[in-house]
């Protein structure tokens, strides 16, 4: 049985770099949402802090997430994030309460 994967990606950008994060998301989101295993991929802004975002992701399985992480466009995006991000993103994996 495949188990859905939900995670929050906590992102902080350098001051003045908000638009760069939004541009990066807008470029990637159509590609990611077209992936067979993607159920949700939404960037949200943190209220009262223009430099912080949360990326909400939901995947049909661990295999789908692994495929996503290894696509050429995600590898390229990851290699460029340091230009506008203040630090590495924090990944918070969510689990269902049973």
Predicted pLDDT of residue 71 = 96
Is 28 part of any domain?
Answer: yes
Model confidence pLDDT, tens digit, residues 50-75 = 999 999 999 999 999 999 999 999 99
* Number of domains making up the chain: 1
Expressed as residue numbers, the domain containing 75 is: 5-93
What are the start-end ranges of the H helices in the chain? 18-33, 62-69, 72-80
Confidence of residue 97 (pLDDT cuts 50, 70, 90): confident
Model confidence pLDDT, tens digit, residues 1-40 = 568 999 999 999 999 999 999 999 999 999 999 999 999 9
95: its two tokens: 């689990």
What is the reported pTM?
0.91
Predicted pLDDT of residue 45 = 97
Closest to 57 measured CA to CA, from 94, 17, 14, 26? 94
Is 73 part of any domain?
Answer: yes
């Amino acid at each position: 049985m495949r188990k859905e994967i939900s995670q929050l990606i906590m992102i902080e950008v350098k001051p003045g770099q908000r638009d760069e994060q939004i541009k990066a998301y807008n470029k990637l989101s159509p590609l990611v949402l077209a992936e067979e295993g993607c159920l949700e991929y939404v960037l949200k802004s943190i209220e009262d802090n223009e430099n912080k975002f949360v990326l909400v992701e939901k995947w049909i399985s661990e295999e789908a997430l692994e495929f996503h992480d290894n696509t050429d466009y995600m590898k390229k995006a990851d290699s460029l994030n340091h230009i506008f991000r203040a630090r590495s993103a924090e990944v918070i994996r969510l689990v269902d309460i049973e």
